[in-house]
Amino acid sequence: MASTERRGPRQIYAAFLWSMKGLKACFRHEASFRLEVFLAVAVVPLGLWLGHGAVEKIVLITFPILVLSAELLNSAIEAVVDKVSPEFHELAGRAKDMGSAAVFLLMMMVLVSWALILVPRFL
């Protein structure tokens, strides 16, 4: 076992720092991620306020957070594809489009879950 390996709390702290570095990079370089962060900052507290009971609150806040997670993964895919294949290639375009589609599907889940939970209250 190499002496440079991190174990326990140090490893957790290092992983935390790498995660913060990734969030910062995505926020700095990806306009769509910035927009989704601003929306999440608005809708997560709103979901906690409007949800009746724990399950509704969890549903209303989980999907916006999943959108952010998918956007991070999509941005990572795009960065790797651009690095590996700077010229256009059908497979590179397909990979980027699929990542974008994953984000889109989660955004639709945000709309559907919010509508199913909140619309009946106002009818």
Question: Is-catalytic flag, 36?
Answer: no
122 by Cβ neighbours in 10 Å (0-12 / 13-18 / 19+) ranks as: exposed
- Catalytic, out of 36, 56, 71, 90: 71
Residue 56 counted as an annotated binding residue: no
Residue 33 counted as an annotated binding residue: no
Residue 21 counted as an annotated binding residue: no
Residue 100 counted as an annotated binding residue: yes
Q: Are 26 and 72 in contact (CB under 8 A)?
A: yes
Residue 90 counted as an annotated binding residue: no
Residue 71 counted as an annotated binding residue: yes
82 by Cβ neighbours in 10 Å (0-12 / 13-18 / 19+) ranks as: exposed
Q: What angle do CA 36, 37, 42 make, to 5 degrees?
A: 95
The catalytic site residues sit at 71
Write out the binding residues for a divalent metal cation.
Answer: 30, 78
Binding residues for substrate: 71, 100
Known binding-site residues for ATP equal 30, 78, 87-89, 96-97
Q: Can you say which residues are annotated as belonging to the binding site?
A: 30, 71, 78, 87-89, 96-97, 100
